[in-house]
Amino acid sequence: DPADIPCAANLAELLHNLGRTPEGLPYLENAARLNPTSAPVWEAFSVYHVRAGQKDKALDSLTKASKLDPASSRITYYYGLALHDAKRTPEALAALSKAHSLAPSDPEPLFALATISRDSGLIDDAIAHAQKLLPLDPDRARRLLQELKSTP
């Protein structure tokens, strides 16, 4: 079924794994043509673009996906990472904070918030995020807190 978004995404992934990444694009384009307001279509496009080394296009696709499904913690999380990769740190931190509020039991947004805050010199914020991470991912949180406490 050409409108089956998971099928198109899986086929694009399979072709990527076979070293044939460009061949997956028509399947995603067709899914997007048939489902232009589907956030999962644009999320799948973002994965394709990352794999094709097209970070700007990946960010564009994630921007569309996040607007179409602002309640998706996963899309919001990936959008935050893409914003960070684009050196848009304040926007990245805002998106990752939103992802954490949408899925408070998911450790990944907190870990990203802590590490991006650390890398941006926001040590107090990084410590606060790492402390919130403790009950969700004690090992990573402890390592991060130890590193942050030794930061001058």
- 46-50, 74-78, 118-122, 139-143: which range is least confident on average? 46-50
Measured CA distances, 78 to 4, 95, 98, 124 (Å)? 22, 9, 12, 24
The tokens describing 58, both together, are 């990946």
Q: Predicted confidence band at 51 (pLDDT cuts at 50, 70, 90)?
A: confident
In this predicted structure, the answer to whether residue 9 has a pLDDT above a threshold of 90 is no
Q: What is the pLDDT of residue 129?
A: 98
Cβ contact 118:148 at 8 Å: yes
Q: Per-residue pLDDT for 5 more than 90?
A: no
pLDDT in tens, 70-109: 999 999 999 999 999 999 999 999 999 999 999 999 999 9
**How would you class 39 by CB atoms within 10 Å of its CB: exposed for 0-12, middle for 13-18, buried for 19 or more?**
buried
